[in-house]
Chains A and B, each alone.
Chain A
């Protein structure tokens, strides 16, 4: 048991820090920073993603043949940690790197691997996910988007929802029903859909915060070539499970880094907010909550580390991993709510008001946090998974 970096890890971390110091965009993270808009914004993030790739910090565990480094997963964890700590811009290919890529690596054909993987790492092609539907959320297998085989292609019609990046995406990992006759899990097929195909329409979905982070995708007679099926026709459910497992497994270190930053900012808020002639940080109730959140943060950190060590040792994720996302989501909700309580009446004010604290940052984060217990597996579904697959309790009736 040792939490310190090995010499090789320390060297890699130092190189990344130096690289970030030299390469972070001018004014990034300062008050002067102005986020580009529209096409310029996409160009900015693509450019940043390519820089990260060329710096050697992306695709660390992937095969060299596809632009990866075949390096230890620890180095990948260090990248996530350091990018989070520096609050650096994110790579534009989150869905590609975290979900589409690992799925293609596991189930794709050699042609698919050669065609797609390197462009995911460089950020040249952006991916989105087409899984959820208006009537298929937690019960994903009941999805209704139809794909009808016609010679060497499929014709797809239906609607997907909660798709981040879809408005700028070039490709979509899409699960659709190719057979509606039997078991709902058996009739699904996994496709790689070109988002520029005629019949694909993307509409932004305005969310609780007022922003549009997600989209709806409408497909009306979209043609997908048969060589864009991943796995075989009818294997869609098991291929989709690979995607979802990777979604949960990969996010741990990124979530940890973000929680670290959020906690640091929360402490700064408590220290800078005055209350009754002293700091909010001197209020015993605030102090108790901050200490408790610190314990949550460390508990999450070392739960991720434990899961990670188990993975390195045995090759399979330990039971610790299944609690990570569940624990993080509820911690993040408590953390952001605590910020509002520290602000007092100023919690009423959102972005755009001169009197708002930090231009409404915490109001936005708190509202956004309500999605944390819904996205990537609701807390209810995750508790079912823990109960049945980890604790060995009998299946609940559904």
Chain B
């Protein structure tokens, strides 16, 4: 039994933290967030480190590390509010592209030459697996509306998930393909932008198809559920990163800000609130790491673990940021101060792929209902 990261994993964490500190100080993130200025050349730096295909096997061009390493990086990017397509292209899209036999698409994305995203939720905004949101498909052309497509503004390739007449399919579409309309939606969290894509008979490439939602171990449904669990685990560790950094900023403020002739952190009304935030963050961290491990190992509890971890970590991040804003007083309520960026990312994580209640409903089904 060992629940610590290895030395190599800690070194990976240190290098991710350093890269983010050098290239994405919070002032720069704020500028990008206000101007939509994601710099494509920065993605090359991520690719050079091998993180654009971090858990893709080496024989398919990736770095051949495990999902745990992928999550170590995700947490550090969360801490920095990194405004690039790691969740969409690395965590989500490469997982789907690995099913297919088109080596070129996967290779280009893993190499960082192209950025991919996943178009999953339909007009109701739900990321369902069984059945998946509807699409129309006639063997050649795809018709569908997809919402909350992350990083659509910088993606080259769209991986579409959908249900066609009771079958499950995955397609790839070039973002600039004919009869495709896309636009960015005005998101509250502008460090992770989301978009809308309308496919109106778009020429598309079928990656995989299954004519039934078979629960077979290696079936397409299992692959889609694994995608969901990976994304939820990634959102959970990212939320832990966001919350930790927001708490650190606040601790620094509470140690130095003087009122009534004392640092405000010496008042228990303040210090106990921050101690509570620490408790929430650390217990959420435990769940997030467990979920990451369970997903990496393909453990049977990966599903409920990822759902519970995302629910709890998002709530911990939102709550910590709220405590942080309160402890900062007036300055924490200004646009100038970076706290609102953390808060909006936390809210964004909470809203994306299911709020806590929806995720707990899935945990409850696993816990309380008979399974055939």
Contacts and interface: CB of A to CB of B under 8 A. Distances in A.
Nearest to B308: A295
Label chain B's interface by main secondary structure: helix
Label chain A's interface by main secondary structure: helix
Interface string B263-280: 101111001101110110
Contacts, number: 156
Interface string A356-393: 00000000000000000000000010011011101111
Contacts of A292: 360
Interface stretch (B1-9, B130-138, B227-235): B1-9
Interface stretch (A28-36, A102-110, A116-124, A305-313): A305-313
Interface string B342-368: 000000000000000100110110011
B181 interface: no
A44 to B, nearest CB: 33
Nearest to B316: A299
Contacts of A396: 266-268, 271
A74 B283 contact: no
B360 A394 contact: no
A302 B289 contact: yes
A310 B284 CA distance: 17
Nearest to A299: B283
A393 B1 contact: no
B289 A295 contact: no
A387 B278 CA distance: 9
Contact of A295 (B3, B263, B272, B363): B363
A290 B367 CA distance: 9
B286 interface: yes
A394 B276 contact: no
Nearest to B251: A391
Nearest to B2: A2
A396 to B, nearest CB: 5
B305 interface: yes
Contacts of B1: 2-6, 9, 74, 305, 309
A277 interface: no
The winner among A1, A2, A271, A281 for most chain B CB atoms within 10 A is A1
Given A302-B286, A323-B282, A384 B5 contact: no
A315 interface: no
A391 B4 contact: no
A313 B304 CA distance: 29
Given A310-B4, A386-B275, A393-B255, A290 B268 contact: no
Contacts of B271: 383-384, 387-388, 391, 393, 396
B13 interface: no
A319 interface: yes
A303 B286 contact: yes
Contacts of A287: 360-361, 364, 368
Contacts of B360: 287-288, 291-292, 295
B359 to A, nearest CB: 8
Nearest to B364: A287
Contacts of A312: 2, 4
Contacts of B311: 295
A388 B265 CA distance: 9
Contact of B3 (A288, A302, A380): A302
B254 interface: yes
Given A305-B3, A380-B272, A383-B276, A270 B266 contact: no
Contact of B278 (A282, A294, A323): A323
Contacts of B290: 3, 298, 302
Nearest to B304: A294
B175 interface: no
Contacts of B267: 396
Given A6-B1, A271-B368, A302-B286, A326 B266 contact: no
A320 B286 contact: yes
B288 to A, nearest CB: 9
B308 A298 contact: yes
B357 A288 contact: yes
Contacts of B293: 1-3
Nearest to A288: B360
B194 interface: no
B312 interface: yes
A300 interface: yes
Contacts of B4: 1, 306, 309-310, 312-313
A294 B367 contact: yes
Given A1-B68, A303-B283, A386 B278 contact: yes
Nearest to B356: A292
Contacts of A388: 271
Nearest to B270: A393
Contacts of B268: 380, 383-384, 387, 396
A140 B284 CA distance: 33
Interface in B1-36: 1-6
A319 B287 contact: no
Contacts of A9: 1
B262 interface: yes
A391 B275 contact: yes
A5 B2 CA distance: 9
A327 interface: yes
A323 B274 CA distance: 13
Contacts of B287: 295, 298-299, 302
A1 B364 contact: no
Interface in B50-68: 68
Contacts of B2: 1-3, 309, 312
A27 interface: no
A20 interface: no
Nearest to B252: A392
A397 interface: yes
B367 A291 contact: yes
Contact of B255 (A303, A306, A392): A392
B279 A386 contact: yes
B369 to A, nearest CB: 8
Nearest to A310: B4
Contacts of A151: none
A100 to B, nearest CB: 28
A86 interface: no
A295 B282 contact: no
A83 interface: no
Given A312-B4, A323-B278, A393-B254, 18 more contacts: A1-B6, A1-B68, A1-B289, A2-B293, A3-B2, A6-B1, A267-B368, A281-B368, A287-B368, A288-B364, A299-B312, A302-B290, A303-B286, A305-B286, A380-B268, A387-B274, A394-B263, A396-B267
Interface of A: 1-6, 9, 74, 267, 270-271, 281-282, 284, 287-288, 290-292, 294-296, 298-303, 305-306, 308-310, 312-313, 319-320, 323, 326-327, 380, 383-384, 386-388, 390-397
6 contacts: A1-B293, A2-B293, A323-B283, A327-B279, A387-B265, A391-B278
